[in-house]
Every structure is written in structure tokens, then in C-alpha cells.
């Protein structure tokens, strides 16, 4: 892969990530509520799902998945329902007179946050089709496939991870400056972001990015 091709690919990925998607909104929500360090597990879950989706695309499974419209629909709407449930639960538990709910939010496990990130990303099975359509535009038939594929995949994951950290760090910085009742509203806003992520996921089409 030439440097010129890679630079064009980086610019393309940057343009695709210029607007937040469901995973970015989930990262905003979890960083604002649980702190940036804990929310890194959410980013790890998202990137783990992306890696599997890229691998599926690289192995030629995209055509099989794309042919099953029913499977795509079931997986996507299950993810939408999951996010709406999480967001609604967060909003309802953000009460000043509910210390037990507050303790539950603080003690949420890294595994649970990882699972949220993974499910949110994996619930967009059309991402496999997206990667299968994007990568060939930058892969030369005259060179070995897998080295080029790994470069494209690693670059995408690095860019996505950087965007997630930027969103998460900003949300955590803002949330840390609110106390008392104001902080509760930040938590309610986090639940709203999660529901917004569900809406975006429900509206995603085959041409959307992962």
C-alpha cells in the first residue's frame, strides 16, 4: 500500500467519523456518568465488535450476512431495544433521594460497560457490509491482500478509538464540574444520549459507517 493511498484512506475515515454515531453517544453517556477511565471499557467493547466485523468482511462473510434481511433486522432492533432500556433506566434512577441507585451507577463493572459498547456496535450488522464495500476501494489487487487489510483495519480502529476518547474525555471533564442537583441532570442527559444512540442505530442504513 502506497503512502498516498493510505493518506486518502485516513482522510476518508476522518470525514466518515465527523458526525457522532450510536457508539459515540454511548461513550458520552458512560463517560459523563461513570467517568472517563471506566468508560474506556465501553470504547474497548465497541472496537472489539468492529474487529470482528472487519474480520467477517475480510473472510467474505459480508455477502452472506447482507443476503439475510431478517437476521439484520432482528439484530439491529434487539440492539435498539437494549439501548432504550439502558437509557430509560438511567433517567429513572437519577434521583437525589435514591442513594442506592447512585451507588449502583458508581459500582458498575468494567465488564458491563464493555458489553454495552460491544452490543451497541455489534447491533449494527450492516457494518460488515460497510467494511466490505469500503476496504476494496483502497486495496490493490497487485499486492498481498492481508497486509493491506490489516493496515486498513488498524488505521480505522486507531481513528475510531481516538474519536471515542475525545468524546469521552470531554464529557467526563464537563460532568466533573457539576455537583448535586446539576450532576443529576448530567446523568439524566446521559440517559438521553443513550436513547438518542438507539434512535440513530434504528435509522442506520447499509451505507452508514460502523
Average pLDDT, the chain: 79
- Map grid coordinates 463493572 to a residue: 109
Tell me: the pLDDT tens digits for 189-208? 767 777 877 777 677 654 45
Beta-carbon contacts of 104 under 8 Å, excluding residues fewer than 6 positions away, are 93
Rounded CA separation 159/31 (Å): 19
Looking at residues 131-138, what average pLDDT do you find?
Answer: 84
| Positive or negative torsion for Cα 97, 101, 105, 106 | positive
The 3-state DSSP composition of the chain as helix, strand, coil percent (nearest 5) reads 80, 0, 20
Predicted TM-score of the model (pTM) = 0.74
Q: Is residue 183's pLDDT more than 60?
A: no
Tell me: the pLDDT tens digits for 35-47? 899 999 999 999 9
Whole-angstrom CA distances from 81 to 123, 198, 200, 201 are 10, 7, 12, 10
Q: Is residue 181's pLDDT more than 80?
A: no
Amino acid at each position: 500500500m502506497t503512502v498516498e493511498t493510505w493518506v486518502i484512506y485516513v482522510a476518508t475515515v476522518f470525514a466518515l467519523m465527523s458526525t457522532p454515531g450510536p457508539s459515540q453517544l454511548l461513550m458520552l453517556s458512560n463517560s459523563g456518568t461513570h467517568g472517563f477511565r471506566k468508560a474506556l471499557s465501553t470504547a474497548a467493547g465497541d472496537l472489539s465488535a468492529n474487529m470482528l466485523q472487519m474480520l467477517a468482511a475480510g473472510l467474505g462473510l459480508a455477502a452472506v450476512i447482507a443476503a439475510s434481511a431478517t437476521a439484520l433486522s432482528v439484530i439491529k432492533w434487539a440492539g435498539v431495544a437494549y439501548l432504550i432500556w439502558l437509557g430509560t433506566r438511567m433517567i429513572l434512577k437519577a434521583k437525589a433521594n435514591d442513594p442506592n441507585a447512585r451507588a449502583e451507577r458508581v459500582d458498575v463493572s468494567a465488564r458491563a460497560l464493555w458489553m454495552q459498547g460491544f452490543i451497541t456496535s455489534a447491533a449494527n450488522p450492516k457494518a460488515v457490509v460497510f467494511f466490505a464495500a469500503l476496504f476494496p476501494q483502497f486495496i490493490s489487487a497487485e499486492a498481498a491482500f492481508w497486509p493491506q487489510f490489516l493496515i486498513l483495519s488498524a488505521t480505522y480502529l486507531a481513528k475510531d478509538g481516538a474519536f471515542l476518547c475525545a468524546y469521552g474525555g470531554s464529557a467526563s471533564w464537563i460532568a466533573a464540574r457539576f455537583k448535586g442537583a446539576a450532576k443529576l441532570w448530567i446523568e439524566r442527559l446521559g440517559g438521553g444520549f443513550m436513547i438518542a444512540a438507539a434512535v440513530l442505530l434504528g435509522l442506520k442504513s447499509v451505507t452508514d459507517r460502523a
